[in-house]
Amino acid sequence: MPAWLDAEDSVFLIVDMQERLMPAIAGQAEQLATADRLARAARLLDIPVVATAHQAAKLGGTVAPLAASVRRTFPKTHFSAAREPGFVAWLPAARRTVLVAGAEAHVCVLQTVLGLLAEGLRVAMVEDAVGSRHAADKAAALRRAAAAGADIVTAEMVLFEWLGHCEHPQFPAVLALIKERAAPGV
């Protein structure tokens, strides 16, 4: 398995970015914008985009505009989606690398990451596309995920690794998504 993220081996998992949860997440606007750029790029590159919904009756569905990119959603009640019967088998079988975005980083995201690692999958937690209500919780989740063997990446790292080279036929479209990100200080 290469050290870089391979688009042909990847699936993008959006954990619980739901209508009634996201307003409570620190920095949620930037995290949602980042996850949306990743989801749109994944669609351009034929990477499956899937989501989980934790108690959707209470927390609502996946937030717009992310919902438009999601192929299918797995309902759950466990904090770790990997503990839900059938979840791991529900993931696209030929893909062994799971890129994870979502909320809350220290609860459902982290527990899902740990569960997927235990199932033998390669997992990358997208630092700028995960969030918690408190910064300390997010930071601790990132440290723990890394210590457990997850790659900690940024969305821009992911996008360039998925492309692999500047002659990729989708390079112009993905580069346009990258440029949507506001420059620092803007």
Q: pLDDT tens, 20-45?
A: 999 999 999 999 999 999 999 999 99
Residue 186: the pLDDT is 46
Alpha helices in the chain (DSSP H): 28-44, 56-59, 87-90, 110-118, 135-148, 155-163, 171-180
Distance in angstroms (rounded) separating the CA atoms of residues 1 and 99? 15
The distance between the two most distant Cα atoms of the chain, rounded to a whole number of Å, is: 46
The percent of residues in the chain predicted with pLDDT above 70, rounded, is: 97
Specify if 1 maps to a domain.
no
Specify if 117 maps to a domain.
yes
Specify if 2 maps to a domain.
no
At residue 184 the predicted structure's pLDDT band, cuts being 50, 70 and 90, is low
Distance in angstroms (rounded) separating the CA atoms of residues 177 and 134? 28
Q: Are 122 and 97 in contact (CB under 8 A)?
A: yes
At residue 8 the predicted structure's pLDDT band, cuts being 50, 70 and 90, is very high
Distance in angstroms (rounded) separating the CA atoms of residues 178 and 155? 9
Specify if 186 maps to a domain.
no
Specify if 97 maps to a domain.
yes
Tally of domains in the chain: 1
Specify if 134 maps to a domain.
yes
CATH label of the domain that carries residue 100: 3.40.50.850
Residue 70: the pLDDT is 95
Domain hosting 152: range is 7-180
Residue 42: the pLDDT is 98
Residue 28: the pLDDT is 94
Which tokens sit at 166?
A: 């500047």
Residue 15: the pLDDT is 98
Mind listing the pLDDT tens digit for each residue in 117-172? 999 999 999 999 999 999 999 999 999 999 999 999 999 999 999 999 999 999 99
At residue 93 the predicted structure's pLDDT band, cuts being 50, 70 and 90, is confident
Cα–Cα separations (whole angstroms), residue 132 to 22, 62, 149 = 9, 16, 21
Which one is predicted more confidently, 1 or 104? 104
Residue 90: the pLDDT is 92
Provide the pairing of β-strand 49-54 with 10-15. Answer: parallel
Distance in angstroms (rounded) separating the CA atoms of residues 138 and 113? 14
Specify if 185 maps to a domain.
no
Tokens 């346009």 correspond to what residue? Answer: 176
Q: Structure pTM?
A: 0.95
Specify if 93 maps to a domain.
yes
Cα–Cα separations (whole angstroms), residue 150 to 20, 68, 153 = 28, 27, 9
